[in-house]
Structure 1
Amino acid sequence: MVSAIKQEVAKILLEIGAVTLSPKKLFTWASGIQSPIYCDNRLLMTYPEARREIREAFCHLLKEKEPNCELIAGVATGAIVHAAWVAEHLNKPMVYVRSQAKDHGKQNLVEGKVEPGKLAIVIEDLVSTGGSSCAAIEALRDSGGKVNHCLAIFTYGFPEAVKKFEAIQCNLTTLTDFSTLLQLAKERRIISAEEQTLLQRFSANPRGWLD
């Protein structure tokens, strides 16, 4: 079932144009990383059928990985809508975590109420280096919640992200992943075997793959 979800979600992301593979014309991320791939999962909002399938995939994995979950937490801003759809479908409380605390009002970092000791699951749209996801998890824990698991739509599979999740003792499960998406793109002749190898090199060492 998990393998089928990975294939289906990869297909959705490619078909709606959420993922752009460009080995010859690189994208520059805010972190300064030169990337041959760009993933914009915000496009899922525009497609009702696609976003419903993403919601169903999240709900399936949530019930499998954290069946006793009491709180859904979205990471701002991209994952807020997905957390809201999942929380509504499962009739669960929801909060979201900002990238930084507000500089006015109550200066909240976590928006919504976190009951002490409640078991939360974090919903993320995309995991690259893992920094924002792990910061959100730590913020929820600091607010009194228990977090053992993060669910995300897609991950680039960077070793840096794996280490960060291990360091904070939190599991990460994604609806699809880099290798699944690349294989599907190759099968559909979106990329060549040579370009697939280049993209794999990027995933293994995103900061040094061009050296």
Structure 2
Amino acid sequence: MNISGGRDASVAERIARMFLEIGVVKLNTEEPFVWSSGWKSPIYCDGRISLSYPQVRSYIKEELAELIRKRFPEVEAIAGVATAGIPQGVLVADALDLPFLYVRTKPKGHGMTNIVEGEVVKEQKVIVIEDLVSTGGSSLKATAALDLSGMDVLGLISVFTYGFDDAREHFANANIPFISLSNYDVLIKEAMEQDLISATDLSSLQEWRKAPHLWKQDA
């Protein structure tokens, strides 16, 4: 596998190409996928697949770690969001030689009933790692849990995002810096260049991106 994507390819382009090549992302405008929210979608992204490919896994880990070194040099801990953000977060914490925690979707139903697992240090500066960001709702629940635990959330970084306007607004309103290594617009551009989608597909994919909650709801 050529993970370089060419000398001039950006990190976002390289990840998009890898995701298309190994099947992390699937595109289908004719037989859309259905999300748990009930939204119909022409794209399905399963970042967990990347963990099965050592070269891809290592590249993502290194780029996440390098981004954190550059943008958040004061970081003192890494937190992953359950479940897909946990393995990515562990890899990054190991690369940076930092403590790791993870945030559950809801408090554990027994024992200590924790929602944040790991050693919580008050005012410790933490970066949150997500695999995928859609609307940002679950991500911001995780950052809120860390904040309530007394930790200082510096920002959230994801491997991939759909780039919805709602997500940008939610992070801005919460005053949480958000960065993603790759995104939907770059991926669709790569899919076009590889002739994986037609001009008709592109139009449909762009329409979904503008109003995902309305796309093909009457179909």
Q: TM-score, normalised by structure 1?
A: 0.96
Please point out which of 153, 174, 183 is paired with 1:147. 153
Q: Give the conservation status (yes or no) of the 8 Å contact 1:115–1:145.
A: yes
Kindly state the Cα deviation for residue 192 of structure 1 after the two structures are TM-superposed: 1.2
The aligned residue for residue 34 of structure 1 is 40
Q: After the TM superposition, which segments of 4 or more aligned residues of structure 1 sit over 4 Å from their partners?
A: none
The aligned residue for residue 173 of structure 2 is 167
The aligned residue for residue 157 of structure 1 is 163
Which runs of no fewer than 5 residues in structure 1 stay unpaired? none
The aligned residue for residue 99 of structure 1 is 105
Q: Give the conservation status (yes or no) of the 8 Å contact 1:75–1:124.
A: yes
Please point out which of 118, 123, 132 is paired with 2:138. 132
Q: Give the conservation status (yes or no) of the 8 Å contact 1:148–1:169.
A: no
Letter of the structure 1 residue corresponding to residue 48 of structure 2 = R
Distance 1:82 1:7 in 2: 19
Secondary structure at the aligned position of 2:106 is classed as: coil
Pairing 1:193–2:188 present: no
Q: Give the conservation status (yes or no) of the 8 Å contact 1:75–1:97.
A: yes
- Give a deviation string over 1:61-115, Cα, whole Å, max 9, x none: 1112211100100000001011001111110001000000011000000000121
Please point out which of 73, 76, 92 is paired with 1:70. 76
Distance 2:9 2:163 in 1: 16
Give the total of aligned pairs.
211
The aligned residue for residue 13 of structure 1 is 19
Kindly state the Cα deviation for residue 166 of structure 1 after the two structures are TM-superposed: 1.3
Distance 2:196 2:143 in 1: 36
The aligned residue for residue 48 of structure 1 is 54
Kindly state the Cα deviation for residue 148 of structure 1 after the two structures are TM-superposed: 2.7
Distance 2:184 2:142 in 1: 23
Secondary structure at the aligned position of 1:101 is classed as: coil
Distance 1:197 1:123 in 2: 32
Kindly state the Cα deviation for residue 2 of structure 1 after the two structures are TM-superposed: 11
Kindly state the Cα deviation for residue 44 of structure 1 after the two structures are TM-superposed: 1.1
Secondary structure at the aligned position of 1:166 is classed as: helix
Kindly state the Cα deviation for residue 210 of structure 1 after the two structures are TM-superposed: 2.9
The aligned residue for residue 3 of structure 2 is none
Percentage of identical aligned residues = 40
- Give a deviation string over 1:150-174, Cα, whole Å, max 9, x none: 1001111111211211121111111
Tell me the C-alpha RMSD between the 2 structures: 1.5
Q: TM-score, normalised by structure 2?
A: 0.93
Pairing 1:116–2:116 present: no
Kindly state the Cα deviation for residue 3 of structure 1 after the two structures are TM-superposed: 6.7
- 1:190–1:184 distance in 2 versus 1, CA, 3 Å: same
Which runs of no fewer than 5 residues in structure 2 stay unpaired? 1-6
